[in-house]
Structure 1
Amino acid sequence: MSATQTADEILDRTFLEIRARVLEVAAALDRIERADDDNHAAADPRVQNLRRAIEVLNTEGFDRAERVQMIFSDEYQPGWNSK
């Protein structure tokens, strides 16, 4: 028995959950845009980060999770834990 799973096995196990999460993100963005009477949301850094992260998801590579995490991470600040 192989220790690693094939792409088909992973898709068989996770496709419905992934699909549900993508639909959840799409619905949340729809709600934000419908509620944005003054068109301020597009300039909100949180929305901009969500859009950047979605762009990363549409790329190739083995480091998408890392790149998305870095979009939502604060830059390291030396001395962050000192007075």
Structure 2
Amino acid sequence: MQIEGSCPRTQRELIELEFIEHRTKILDIAAFLDRFDRSVEHNANDDFRIKAFREALKALNSYEFGRVERIQMLLSDVSSELRAERDGQSAYGAAKESEQ
């Protein structure tokens, strides 16, 4: 799907201005995944966060418009229920499978 006129820059301008910044981000992700795969113990391949992360990478590689929204939803815990007790210091960044 092509949406013309929704960005004030041309594709060439975007490449010239932002390519190196986003190249670095992709390299950071590749380094994380390499470390994950080289871990001394492979005990988290079924973790809900890594599953969501890999699904987000698939969505990122899509040519369909709306990648940001799809990825945001994959990497968000949208539950609004209060927990009986605190189960961590920070957000998980994805919904646990039992909460999706």
- On whether the aligned pair clears a TM of 0.5, the verdict is yes
AA at the equivalent of 2:39: A
Residues 79 and 26 (structure 1), Cα distance of their counterparts in 2 relative to 1, 3 Å cut? closer
Q: How does 1:10-49 map to 2 (within 5 A)?
A: 10-37=14-41, 39-49=42-52
Give the structure-2-normalised TM-score: 0.68
List structure 1 segments (4+ residues) > 4 angstroms apart after TM superposition: none
Aligned-residue identity in percent: 35
Answer yes or no: is the 8 Å Cα contact 1:56–1:67 preserved in 2.
Answer: yes
Normalized per residue, which structure has more helix?
1
Give the structure-1-normalised TM-score: 0.81
Unaligned runs of 5+ in 1: none
Please report the RMSD computed on the Cα atoms of aligned residues, expressed in angstroms.
2.0
| SS of 2:45 mapped into structure 1 | helix
| SS of 1:35 mapped into structure 2 | coil
AA at the equivalent of 2:60: L
